[in-house]
Amino acid sequence: VVVGGGGGGSPESQKLCMDIYYSMIVTEYKCTSTINRVERFTIDFLSEMVHDNQVRGEAFYRMLEEELKQRFATDVAHTKLPGALFLDHIGHLHDLMLSLLKFPTTGIYEDERTSRALALMDYLRKKDESGNIRKEMYFRYVDFLVELHAELKNYQEAGITLLLEVDMLDWKDNMLEPRGEFPRESEKQRKERLLQNAISFFTTGQDWERAIEMCERLEAFYRYDVFDYDFLASVLRQEAELFHKIASTPRFYPSYYRVIFCGEFEDEENGNEYVYRGGRLEKVMNFTQRIKRKYPDAKLVMRWSPKEEDLKEHKKIIAITTLKLPSWQVIAEKELLSEEEKKRVLKLRSNPHVTEPVMQYFENNNRSVFMYEKPEQRAKEKRPANEFKELWIRQTFLVSEASFPTVRRRCRVVSKKEFMLTPIENATNLVHEKNCQILKEMKKVSAAAAEAMSAGGGMGRV
């Protein structure tokens, strides 16, 4: 019925369609005291129209808004209809959809498209008056975000995004309608399929630990729910291979960068401070070139903050700083960890059997605390004989709004803490870092020797 009012046809046919549509609203409200079903139908239809033809979708929305405002205002017989709330929901979703579609479908606008999709998903996840979540539309935007990350080879982010849908599904037999590449199938079959897809993404992205977690979820399903021991055996073999990869395959982890936007930027960016997750093996030069391509009219400065003369000479300034990942021990000492996280860190670090690959993964994942350092020379002489004697270090710890990796590769900084290191503390830290590097190399040599001994028929671990 609503399709007939989608901007085409004669005024008479459009009026007839609106009469029927409005009577549906009135009838549902009389029967249920809500208009949730009509609202869900309208939102689904509007979403399809806006994505298929933005101009036609915009024309339909304007016509719908104008007609309903007039009818809600003049319908004396049905004054209790929640018309204002209904129009507010439709209007807000329409604006969110348009904000997503205004960006070109290229990798350069990954951050904007991701943030707009997540804002839309957050709104859809809110419960309506009857306590329901608009799951079907929410899942469509999960598909959108997974496809976006997969195209950009952000495989960890694609797998984590898939889990947004996985965690909303149960191991039940009720049937789900087809959607995109998914056929009509039971809810538990859909959940199984999504977990298998997540394993594939995590494996490709060398996040074998998360892939193992997904295998364990499937393992429980095959073992205790459907008793499919052939599939169980297959998953266990896959899990064993993943453990072998952790133990034997070197991995490279991405760098992180602090980016500040100053000047005439969009409201979302202007004056804000972000943590960016770079690509694997992406160096700071490649990262800055990527930022420069996106903002060709901005001045890039590789310092902690823009100088006053920079702000006077340029309308747009972007300051970029390479971030360090402070050790969990340092984060705990600075009281930037919860008590639960402190216990987890202590348990892992106090275990002498934790290997270097396991510790490296632990140090590079689930990170929300980052650090950069700024030296301050406090010697009175311009060229002191011993420059380290009065060299103080200002450490700034940043906390991002989400832990990386997550469903996006850019997160806003939500808090920060500063600490001053005395010259003695700075020297002590440098010695400690050098000792840690030596210990890592010693562990590598010991592991290689043990492997060679094992291959030669020597004794195994006691």
Q: Indicate the helix (H) or strand (E) that contains 398.
A: strand 391-404
pLDDT of 462 reads: 40
Cα 448 to its chain centre, rounded Å, is 37
Low-confidence ranges of the chain (pLDDT < 70): 1-9, 77, 79, 127-132, 385, 443-444, 447-462
The CA distance from 26 to 44, in Å, is 20
Residue 1: predicted pLDDT: 45
Please tell me the predicted confidence (pLDDT) of residue 189.
96
Quote the CA–CA distance of 125 and 139 in Å, as a whole number: 10
Cα–Cα distance, 162 to 118 (Å, whole number): 13
Residue 424 contacts residue 404 (beta carbons within 8 Å): no
User: Omega before 405 cis (within 30°)?
Assistant: yes
Res 162: pLDDT: 97
User: Distance (Å, rounded) from C-alpha 104 to C-alpha 50?
Assistant: 15
Q: Residue-wise over 83-120: b if at least 16 C-beta within 10 A, else e?
A: beebeebbeebbebbebbeeeeeeeeebbbbbbbbbeb
Residue 376, burial from CB neighbour count under 10 angstroms (0-12, 13-18, 19+) = exposed
Supply the DSSP string of 321-350, one letter for each residue.
EEEB---HHHHHHTT-S-HHHHHHHHHHHT
Structure token pair of residue 29 = 């409200």
Q: What is the predicted pLDDT for the residue at 456?
A: 59
Q: pLDDT (tens digit, 9 = 90+) per residue, 264-286?
A: 887 778 788 999 999 888 889 99
What burial class does residue 146 get, using C-beta atoms within 10 Å of its C-beta: 0-12 exposed, 13-18 middle, 19+ buried? buried
| Cβ atoms of residues 288 and 302 within 8 Å | yes
Q: Which amino acid is at 66?
A: E
pLDDT score for 36: 80
Question: What whole-number distance in Å separates Cα of residue 389 and Cα of residue 385?
Answer: 9
- Report d(CA 307, CA 100) in Å as an integer: 34
* Alpha-carbon gap, residue 81 to 137, rounded angstroms: 25
The whole-angstrom separation of Cα 125 and Cα 135 is: 7
| DSSP secondary structure code for residue 107 in this structure | G
Cα 61 from chain centroid (whole Å)? 31
Residues 102 and 372: their CA atoms lie apart, in Å, by 35
CA gap 448, 54 in Å, rounded: 60
Q: What is the pTM of this model?
A: 0.85
Decide: helix, strand or coil at residue 64.
helix
